[in-house]
Amino acid sequence: MEKYAVITGGTKGIGHAICTKLASEGFNIATCSRNPEDLDILRTELEEFNVQVITKEADLGKKNEVWTFAQMIQNKWPHVDILVNNAGIFQPGEILKAPDGQMEEMVQVNLYSAYYLTRYLSKYFRSGSHIFNMCSVASLIAYPNGGSYTISKFALLGFSKAIREELKTSGIRVTALLPGATWSDSWKGVDLPEERLMDPRDIADTMWGAYSLSPAAVVEEVVIRPQLGDL
């Protein structure tokens, strides 16, 4: 039977690792990014696994573009087995000093994109489907100069808890992934040893482990940190 996975923000870092992992396991992949060139490169990579790959240039901070991405999936696929709400942005700043609009932008991308896409695809889930929300250790503890980001990630964890309760009897599992510092484009140029941050594949493998459990079990939340702790 064909298997279908939707991953937002799939061209870089954790999203790229998850797309690669799921394609290697035989899942057809739908993903989006704001950069069409990156999407073309990813599509070529994933098609090596002989799976269907559909991509959409989209800014998920905009509700209408979340909808067009969901509509593309609805027009092509009969159901969705895995949804990974991975799209997110980080902008440093203190709550009282950050530029006007920073909070709204991060909430739009980090929270509302997951909220809207989950709602738009809800009729395409079935018993055995699995929703993963890419939260953060910032969903648990605030840290200096990360005010709006922390708030958005606290809210995403709250969304995960709420939707988990709502879907509990449907056979649809919900997992909040809470990774710490992980190598991605946002860490380019930092002078740190490789082992100080996690490999994105560690997060992808953790996600796959949670998905691979029997239907009788669900990992509700999983915290993944570098061995040496948070930065």
- 168: CB partners within 8 A, 6+ apart: none
Whether residue 201 is contained in a domain is answered as yes
DSSP 64-85: HHHHHHHHHHHHH-S--SEEEE
Determine, yes or no, domain membership for 230.
no
Letter string b/e over residues 25-47, b meaning 16 or more CB atoms within 10 A of that residue's CB: eebbbbbbbeeeebbeebbeebe
At 10, list the tokens: 């799939």
Domains held by the chain: number: 1
Looking at the DSSP assignment, which residues form a beta bridge with residue 177? 134, 222
Residue 207 lies in a domain: yes
- Residue 231 inside a domain? The answer is no
Q: Give, for all 231 residues of the chain, the pLDDT tens digit.
A: 899 999 999 999 999 999 999 999 999 999 999 999 999 999 999 999 999 999 999 999 999 999 999 999 999 999 999 999 999 999 999 999 999 999 999 999 999 999 999 999 999 999 999 999 999 999 999 988 899 999 999 999 999 999 999 999 999 999 999 999 998 876 766 778 878 999 999 999 999 999 999 999 999 999 999 999 988
CATH of the domain at 69: 3.40.50.720
Task: Check: CB of residue 73 under 8 Å from CB of residue 30.
Answer: yes
Task: Tell me if 114 is assigned to some domain.
Answer: yes
- Among residues 162, 206, 160, 212, which one has the least CA distance to residue 180? 206
Which range of residues forms the domain containing residue 163? Answer: 3-224
Distance CA 188, CA 183 (A): 8
